[in-house]
Amino acid sequence: MDATVLPMPLRLALADGLHGDITPPPVEGPVLAVGRLVPEKGFDVLIRAAAKASVPVVLVGDGGQEPILRALADEVGA
């Protein structure tokens, strides 16, 4: 099997000296996420974060987690 190792694109040591507000700008419109609705994709994390930030989310896909993700979205008001 051929494999390629990609280096870390960000040198974390450079971030240690950063100070100040690093709040991202407000999001306008929904966040679109496309993929299989399976635990490995972490859509549950996206739903919780979006609800906390009051950002609408549109998920496109299917999979075994669909009913779980729908219930979570209802629960957190996403």
Give residue 66's pLDDT.
95
| Helix pair angle (66-76, 43-52), 10° resolution | 10
* Domain extents in the chain: 29-76
Residues 6+ apart with CB under 8 A from 37: 43, 59, 61, 62, 63, 64, 65, 66, 69
pLDDT of amino acid 70: 95
pLDDT at 20: 72
Mean pLDDT by runs of 10 across the 78 residues of the chain is 70 70 75 94 94 91 95 92
